Amino acid sequence: MGESNRTETWQQSLQAVLNALNQTLHGAVPCPGGAPASTAVATRGGHGGRNDNAYMYILFVMTLFAATVGSLILGYTRSRKVDKRSDPYHVYIKNRVSMI
């Protein structure tokens, strides 16, 4: 019975923190030291909405794409260097020159 009371208290505290954070993020409660929600919307030009962070998503996807392409290019160039070193023709020439 004691465990359930501590769990309920912890859950209520967590729920209160999450509610406060949610209200702050949606502009219902202004952040301390920050501009009120009405002036924040006015400074953005009134373009608020669901897609406020769409540019961050696009930037994230472009970064993942660049990392993928970069790793593919790097892997391909390294594999070509390995093939050149172990090429039988080059090994033959190396052994032939050392014999002369």
Domains contained in the chain, number? 1
With respect to residue 1, please indicate whether it lies within any of the assigned structural domains: no
- Show contacts of 9-15: CB within 8 Å, 24+ apart: none
With respect to residue 41, please indicate whether it lies within any of the assigned structural domains: no
With respect to residue 76, please indicate whether it lies within any of the assigned structural domains: yes
**pLDDT per residue as tens digits for the range 22-44:** 888 877 666 566 555 555 544 55
Ranges of the chain whose pLDDT falls below 70: 1-5, 28-48, 82-86, 97-100
Q: Which domain holds residue 74?
A: 51-99
User: Judging by beta carbons within 10 Å of its beta carbon (0-12, 13-18, 19+), is residue 11 exposed, middle or buried?
Assistant: exposed
pTM of the model: 0.37
With respect to residue 5, please indicate whether it lies within any of the assigned structural domains: no
d(CA 23, CA 28): 5
